[in-house]
Amino acid sequence: MASNPTEEKAKQSALSYLRAWGESPVPPTILATLITSLHARPPQLLPLSFPPVLLASTFLNLYSYTTDSAGITAAWSGLYLLLARRRKPEHMMQKFGTRGIVRGATMGVCGINVLAGGWVYMTGEKADEGVSVR
């Protein structure tokens, strides 16, 4: 595939970063914190249903169910991303205010979680079975 070793090393490096992000318990916790900060005041029940699931995913990750945790994180991050993309700021100031910057960061973390969690779930092995998910 790659013509020289540096290209191959760079590709392996990018996939290893993606795998490290997907297997880490920190991204779902950060995403749960960002979602809570956006939707806690005034309370919005539908978006506030996401942080408990993401924190449960972190709990699973800490108990060595990294592949399952990555799948849950990817799925719920994708759902939140679809939900958040429906809302459109009315004014330019709403895009670049504090709330707009937090919303953009939340959507960015969601996108990375979908990619990394999907990759880990697709290529990972289940801890209790020792077999490939494919």
| pLDDT tens-place string over residues 44-67 | 999 999 999 999 999 999 999 999
Alpha-carbon span 91 to 47, nearest angstrom = 22
Q: How far is CA 49 from CA 32, 40, 60, 76, 107, in A?
A: 10, 11, 18, 10, 16
The tokens of 62 are what? Answer: 């800490």
H or E element, residue 89 = none
Residue found under tokens 């490096």: 13
**Average pLDDT score over residue span 84-96:** 75
**Average pLDDT score over residue span 28-37:** 96
Q: φ, ψ for residue 59 (rounded to 5)?
A: -60, -45
Q: What is the pTM of this model?
A: 0.82
Reply yes or no on whether the pLDDT at 15 is more than 60: yes
Alpha-carbon span 6 to 8, nearest angstrom = 5
Reply yes or no on whether the pLDDT at 94 is more than 60: yes
